[in-house]
Amino acid sequence: MQLSSRSSLFANPNFTLLFGGSTISAIGDQFTLVALPWLVLKLTGDPAALGLVLAAMALPRAAFMLIGGAVVDRMSPRRVLLGARGINALLVSLLAVLVLAGAIQMWMIYAIGLGIGLSTAFAYPAGSAILPQLIQPQQLQPANALFMGMRQLSMIVGPAIAGLLISTGAHAGHGNGVADSSGLGLAFGTDAVSFLFSLGSLMLIRIHSDHHPKVSVGSVLANVASGIRNIWADLPLRAFILYAAVVSVFVGGPIQVGLPVLADTRLDLGAASLGILMAANGGGMLLGSFLSGITAKLVRGRLGLMVLGIDSLAGLALVAMALVHSTLAGAVLLASVGVLAGIAQIAIVSWIQRRVAPEMMGRTMSVLMFTFMGLGPLSAAIAGNLLKMISLATMFTAAGLTLTAIALSCMTNPALRSIGVARAETAPA
């Protein structure tokens, strides 16, 4: 049944175009995710600078994410995504040129980071709102599984190749002032080229809101407020988003800063070690996405308890990262965490997409993404400065124990425990 559902998805040419373009772009994105922190560390050697770059990307993303969701609900999400990804392509291309020319400076990275953060504030809610307009509601679970599997596969292929590509620059490019500059420039250039495939597919896709413009009621800010009120009135949804926000603040930043610093200071393969760690996590999530359907049947109405249990185990794995001194040990730990995360993510996203009305989808997904992509990097700036005062092992241990403590303490919360239970009533619009 699941195979036939996936086959029918690819019989839809719009879905096939979206999936194909997104696959190539997702692989390209991994090159920048590896190259950018490595570039900052090679330029400065300062984890605090890396935290500030992540914060520079997060600030506009956090400030405009909710507005981006409201804009998506008023317009065609395809057109919003097309514009946002076009801007991203230009910014990453500029980054590649500056690195290869030996002209890159930290102020330029901050400026480009601000631009990327602003464009992604519109891209993420737009990307999430397109899928429900392309397929039937009963196809959301297999479609989300396919996209999750694709993203995790990109996290295996992309970082591993990017790490090796950057490492080749260790023997070249020192003349222009940045170690590994040739490999870094090629990594950014690869991401820029991948955007062309995504832009091409989006230009060919047609969705319902392209031909049936939405009637705008009230201002954009009023739409943002109504979206927040809708979430607040839905107790389980509200509880999950608040929980996700707390986890992101206390744990997201230490992980984003900690992994590049771990690869740079403790592990033996440099940028390749960072790529392997990220690839291992992606491989685990890919396996978890395949297991999500089986797990959903086992837990049935206990999705909330499953998520909290997974997070408590992930916290213990993060504590174990404090003891890691080899690439293999780190990869095994992150792969294990990835399996658990992959199981949870598909179930949560599908639950939200089924629960929320289509006209509220952009705003709801923007709030959810704000908790991870807006708040997490802001805490990365704090984590980078903390590493001037505490050791990497101490930061990993504190972050892991905090995650486990938060997850265990939330298991008695009725609203979080009820996530996944069939609704008795419809949330107010």
Report the length, in residues, of the chain.
429
The rounded percent of the chain whose pLDDT value lies above 70 is: 87
Numbers of helices and strands, H then E, in the chain: 18, 0
Amino acid 212: pLDDT: 56
- pLDDT at residue 92 in the model: 93
What mean pLDDT value characterizes the chain? 80
The per-residue pLDDT for 112 is 92
The CA distance from 337 to 335, in Å, is: 5
Angle, alpha carbons 200-203-209 (nearest 5°):
145
Gap between the Cα atoms of 313 and 331, Å rounded = 16
Cα torsion through 358, 364, 365, 366, rounded to 10: 130
What is the separation of C-alpha 39 from the centre of its chain, rounded to a whole number of angstroms?
20
Domain ranges for the chain, please list them: 2-205+222-417
Q: 366 with 72: CB under 8 angstroms?
A: yes
Judge residue 219's burial from the number of C-beta atoms within 10 Å of its C-beta, 0-12 exposed, 13-18 middle, 19 or more buried.
exposed
Instruction: Please check the confidence at residue 178 and state whether its pLDDT lies above 70.
Output: no
The answer to whether 202 and 80 are in contact (CB under 8 A) is no
Residue 424 exposed, middle or buried by CB count within 10 Å (0-12, 13-18, 19+): exposed
Q: How far is 194 from 102, CA to CA, in rounded Å?
A: 23
Asked if residue 240 has pLDDT above 70, the reply is: yes
| pLDDT, tens only, 312-322 | 998 898 899 88
From 138-142, 390-394, 419-423, the region with the lowest mean pLDDT: 419-423
Give pLDDT, residue 424: 43
- Tell me how many degrees the CA angle 417-419-424 measures, rounded to the nearest 5: 110
Q: What is the pLDDT of residue 428?
A: 38
Structure tokens at 389: 């005062």
Pick the CATH number of 2-205+222-417 from 2.60.120.10, 3.40.50.360, 1.20.1250.20, 3.40.50.970: 1.20.1250.20
List, as one string, the DSSP characters of 264-275: HHT-SSTHHHHH
Asked if residues 69 and 224 have their Cβ atoms less than 8 Å apart, the reply is yes
Of the two residues 211 and 69, the one the predictor is more confident about is 69
Average pLDDT over residues 120-149: 78
Higher-confidence residue: 94 or 67? 94
CA distance 204 to 201: 5
Placement of tokens 């201002």 in the chain: 219
Q: What is the pLDDT of residue 134?
A: 80
- Residue 139's nearest CA partner among 7, 337, 326, 290 is 7
Please report which helix (H) or strand (E) contains residue 338, including its range: helix 327-355
263-297 confidence digits (pLDDT tens): 888 887 777 788 788 778 878 887 887 777 677 67
pLDDT band of 3, cuts 50, 70, 90 = very low
- Tokens standing for residue 94: 């500029």
Q: Which of 64-68, 165-169, 420-424 is most confident?
A: 64-68
Longest Cα–Cα distance in the chain: 67
Q: Average the pLDDT over 115-136 and give the result.
A: 82
Q: What is the CA radius of gyration of the chain?
A: 21
The confidence band for 217, taking pLDDT boundaries of 50, 70 and 90, is: low
Q: Which of 348, 422, 352, 377 is nearest to 69 (CA)?
A: 352
pLDDT, residue 64, reads 83
Rounded average pLDDT over 143-169: 77
pLDDT computed for residue 18 by the predictor: 87
172 and 182 Cβ atoms separated by less than 8 Å: yes
7 pLDDT higher than 90: no
- Mention every residue, 6+ apart, whose C-beta is less than 8 A from residue 327: 267, 268, 269, 273, 276, 277
Angle between helices 361-369 and 235-247 (to 10 degrees): 30
Q: Look at residue 267 in the predicted model and tell me its pLDDT.
A: 83
Question: Could you tell me if 162 and 272 are in contact, meaning their C-beta atoms sit under 8 angstroms apart?
Answer: no
Q: For the ranges 110-119, 343-352, 366-375, which has the lowest average pLDDT?
A: 366-375
The separation between CA 263 and the C-alpha centre of its own chain, rounded to angstroms, equals 21
